[in-house]
Structure 1
Amino acid sequence: MSLLRKLPIRFLNPQSALRLRFFSAQTAEKHAFPDVPTSAYYDERINAAGRDGDLETIRKLLNKRIADGCFNTNNTFKFLTRTDTSLSILDDLFKTLGRLDRGLPRKQAYDALIARLCKIKRVEDSLRLVDAMARGNDGLNAVTFHPILSALTHDKKMEEAWRVIEQMRELKVSPDLTAYNYLLTANCFNGNLTAASEVLEKIEENQLGFDARTYDALVMGACKEGKVEGALMLVRRMLEDGQSPLYCTYAHVISALLRLDYCAQAVKFVMVCGNRDHKLDTESFGCLASRLIGMRKFDEAKFVLEEMNKRGLEMYGSKLKDFYESNVRNAKLNSS
């Protein structure tokens, strides 16, 4: 009896012992590495460690994920938010990244953290990381600066964005077309065509050419100024250059034409530009038909929907489907 009294209670209770073994097994299974880890798996583990303030685990996971071919994503540092509690770990996290394996593990982690900091409006902190990358010769390139320029131009901080461009040059990093496109798009969106022209001069001066984003920004700027003919010329040049238009590029032109009540010209535009990309046709024809119905231009809307049916383009949303059934399909059945 004296021996039994000295034993912990759980050894006298078989059910308690079973529960202990079960939960221990669950915990071990939860933290065991899968045979084929994924980026999502690593993100989950890193975010859990980040919420616990476990920087050493974060360091190990950031190194191991690259060795496993699981690159960082937009979710890697999601444990960082705008709260003071979350951001209190920031300085120590910076030091942790500086101790990662040189090469891709460190470069990838820096880029991912910079993107996250810009997402939560901590651009100044992201620029501190840029300085650290420059000092450590850790693969600083134009891609590193993209989220910074995106955040600044989105918030209309154009002077700060230009200072970042200058900082890139000082660090021997050549701004690429994507970097300039952020400034170009922001200026065109804000209707500042003089500033947009200055950006274009830089693009041409550095012989960077135009891509779909460049053309989209220019088309948007022309449409905002009511210069639809100029926008149409840009679309024509874009197609001649072999660039695939973005969905929004055609939407800019359609909206500009409809604002001027040029419904027939809008219909002609999507017809002429069609038959190049099935998905793009689906978006542009559908966008035009929906806008025409909203404007109560029913005859034009019927024509566009008939064309969509002929071309095998799917009609998304009940608005288009119901209108087609009521005003096009049923009308044909009743007339036959």
Structure 2
Amino acid sequence: MPLFLQLSYQLSVTVTMSILRKLHNKSPYSQSILKILPASFFFTGQIPDPGPVPDEPFPDEPTSAYYDEQVYKAGRSGDLVTVGHLLNKRVRDGCFNTTKTFKFLTATESSFSILDDLVRTVSRLDKGVPRKNAFDSLISRLCKLGKTDESLRVIDTMAKEGYGLNAVSFYPILCVLTKKKKMEEAWRVVDLMRDAGLLPDVTTYNYLLTAYCFEGKLAEATAVVKKMEEEGLGADGRTFDALIMGACKAGKVEGALLLLRSMVGDGFHVMHSTHTHVINGMLRLGYWDPAVRFVMACRGRDEKLDQESFGVLANKLIGLRRRDEAMLVLSEMRKMGLTMGRKLTDFYEMNVNKNQGTEGN
């Protein structure tokens, strides 16, 4: 029996692996704005057209960056009519909102004095994607500024008025709360989703799962995975990535390798962070040689992943003063034609010269 199955840290790995197999066999639940909104739920003009933006000629092929800049100028001047016009027009031009769309909102009190008026402006946007996309972008901006209470007010407006609220709208709020380790508040947000008639999806639970795994709280992480399985949700690559991180944080590298094997076997794309979790977990336990063997065994499947994994391991081994192991990794990088960067190249050439000098003597 593998060592991982004998380990316990308030976690039944047998249960976790069984759940993951069940999750993989279920259809993953994901929400898409375009799938949730009916085809007819799109454009019905409600914002008055203020005419061309006077500052500069309108480009023949506008970009999202152009619209972000124009929205910023209008927002800073308090011209919410023009803001609404631009938010409608950009979607018609295929320039969806970005994380910079509402950058005219800052952390100052004066900036938030227009929030209620801004919400009313967004509420009057064309039905469907323009309004939904703008609301989601606004929520993201508020969360970036740490204003989760204000974000929840926007959520409340969307829910009461039927403005296409779905799980995606809650992601930025969950992201902020889980990063701040405010897990009770995060679970209350999940309850709010249910109150609004929404089912939490895989991404919703992944935010919670990642937060618990980052802290090495595997008992809580297992409870989240069980809940996912009970609700018929399918695991995705980030679910595996979080569990692998959690196992490594708890010092259970053998378990992490079993999970990684299951992840690859189930056809999920291995993220760069997943290999980094395993490498860090091994090095924390002083497993220098196994860490080298791990990256060697995984090479050749994905060049970008090789670049990341070999580079991370080489840098960490150098920092830990494990010269011989670092040179093994760097020599392999040279053979594979991977980019080493100035720091690794200098270390490699210096130590190669030392070795040659020793052999010459």
> Is TM more than 0.5 here?
yes
Q: Which residue of 2 aligns with 1:21?
A: none
Equivalent residues in 2 for 1:1-336, closer than 5 Å = 30-316=55-341, 318-328=342-352, 331=355
> 1:208: how far off?
2.1
Asked if the contact 1:141–1:173 (Cα under 8 Å) also holds between the matched residues in 2, the reply is: yes
In structure 1, C-alpha distance between the alignment counterparts of 2:55 and 2:79, rounded to whole Å? 17
**Residue matched to 1:22:** none
Q: CA deviation at 1:59?
A: 0.9
Rate the CA distance shift 1:28–1:200 in 2: closer, same or farther, 3 A.
Answer: closer
Larger-Rg structure: 1
C-alpha contact 1:97 1:106 (8 A) present in aligned 2: yes
Deviation, 1:30, is 3.5
Report the residue type matching 1:123 in the other structure. Answer: T
d(CA) in 2 for partners of 1:139, 1:80: 23
Measure how far apart 1:173 and its partner are.
1.5
The SS at the match of 1:203 is: helix
Distance 2:232 2:290 in 1: 35
Unaligned 5+ runs, structure 1:
1-26
1:143 Cα offset (Å):
0.9
1:203 to partner: Cα distance = 1.5
Aligned partners of 1:145, 1:75: CA distance in 2, in Å? Answer: 18
Aligned to 2:8: none
Please give the per-residue CA displacement for 1:221-254, whole angstroms capped at 9, x wherever unaligned.
1111111111111111111111122212111111
- Partner AA of 1:259 in structure 2: R
What is the one-letter code of the residue matched to 2:179? H
**Structure 2: distance between partners of 1:59 and 1:294:** 53
Equivalent position SS for 1:30: coil
**1:246/1:184 CA distance change after superposition, 3 Å:** same
**Normalised TM-score (structure 2):** 0.82
Aligned partner letter, 1:269: F
Contact preservation (8 Å) 1:306, 1:328? no
Structure 2: runs of 5 or more not aligned: 1-51
Bigger helix fraction: 1
More divergent stretch after superposition (29-38 vs 181-190): 29-38
Aligned-partner Cα distance in 1 for 2:333–2:214: 31
Q: Deviations over 1:63-113 (max 9, x none)?
A: 111111110000000111110111111111111111111111111110100
Rounded Cα–Cα distance in structure 1 between residues aligned with 2:53 and 2:326: 61
Question: AA paired with 1:68?
Answer: D
CA-CA distance at 1:302 after TM superposition = 1.1
Distance in 2, Cα, partners of 1:66 & 1:120 = 25
CA distance in 2 between counterparts of 1:134 and 1:28 reads 33
State the Cα distance separating 1:329 from its structure 2 match: 7.0
- Give CA-to-partner distance per residue, 1:119-176, whole Å, 9 cap, x none: 1011111111112112222211111111111011111111111111111122121211
Distance 2:106 2:187 in 1: 27
**Separation of aligned partners in 2, 1:197 and 1:88:** 43
Q: Matched residues in 1 for 2:86 and 2:108: separation?
A: 24
Moved more, 254-263 or 41-50: 254-263
Contact map agreement 1:219 1:234 (CA 8 A) in 2: yes
Cα shift at 1:40: 0.6
Higher relative contact order structure (alpha carbons within 8 Å, sequence separation ≥ 6): 2
Q: What is aligned with 1:12?
A: none
- Paired residue type of 1:198: A
CA RMSD for the aligned pairs? Answer: 1.9
Q: How many residues align?
A: 309
Q: Give the SS at the match of 2:55.
A: helix
Distance in 2 (CA, whole Å) between partners of 1:289 and 1:192 is 29
Cα distance change of structure 1 residues 262 and 42 upon mapping to structure 2, 3 Å threshold: same
1:229–1:122 distance in 2 versus 1, CA, 3 Å:
same
- 1:295 alignment partner AA: L
Structure 1: distance between partners of 2:66 and 2:281:
46
